[in-house]
Amino acid sequence: MPLRFLLSSTVRRFSSSAPSGGAAAESRTQKLERIADVLLSLTKEERKDYSTLFRLKLGLNHLVQAGGSVPWAGAGPGAEAAKPAEEKEKTAFDIKLEKFDAAAKIKVIKEVRTFTDLGLKEAKELVEKAPVVLKKGVTKEEAEAIAAKLKEVGATIALE
């Protein structure tokens, strides 16, 4: 059924002058109109937050985008289901070269060659592209060791 048809039939039902349910139906109509007015008055960011909250309250956690910062994530039944995903510790890291000292460029290139299978030319081109990801999917221990070595020679590293 097209959305336009559903909306038009709903509007006709709520805008009829004599609802079949009497005063109770009238108050329901007024309540729904008030809610619609409030929703229409929300800013774009508020609508996004409301949409996420509504999905969580309905238990549709799989429809909520991962990584979205939600200020009210601690409330509601959907919050308990979302917490285990946050508690998982990251196991694979990407090593990203943010920048390096110009005087230490040769040392950085040599160090990059030690943990990659790149030749001198490829390593030089990679380092010159900074900021760039040098290696993906590395364990935490290995990533920290590589980052420490690169920092010693004058590079700024980020683990993602």
How many angstroms separate the CA atoms of 151 and 157, rounded? 7
For the beta carbon of residue 134, count every other beta carbon within 10 angstroms: 24
Look at 12 and 27; give whichever has higher pLDDT.
Answer: 27
Question: Residue 95: beta bridge partners?
Answer: 135, 159
Tokens read off for 77: 């039944």
Query: What are the pLDDT digits (tens) for 14-56?
Result: 555 444 555 666 788 888 888 888 888 888 888 888 888 887 8
The pLDDT value given to residue 22 = 57
Tokens read off for 39: 């929703």
CA distances from 129 to 52, 90, 123 (A): 38, 27, 10
Which stretch of 55-69, 115-129, 135-149 has the lowest confidence by average pLDDT?
55-69
Tokens read off for 135: 């290696």
Query: What are the pLDDT digits (tens) for 65-77?
Result: 554 555 545 555 5
* Cβ atoms of 121 and 159 closer than 8 Å: no
* CATH classification code of 93-159: 3.30.1390.10
Domain with CATH 3.30.1390.10 in the chain: 93-159
The pLDDT value given to residue 18 = 47
3-state helix vs strand vs coil in the chain, percent to 5: 60, 10, 30
The pLDDT value given to residue 25 = 64
* Cβ atoms of 59 and 78 closer than 8 Å: yes
pLDDT at residue 6 is higher than 80? no
Query: What are the pLDDT digits (tens) for 78-124?
Result: 555 555 555 567 778 888 989 888 888 999 999 889 888 888 998 89
Per the document, the length of the chain is 160
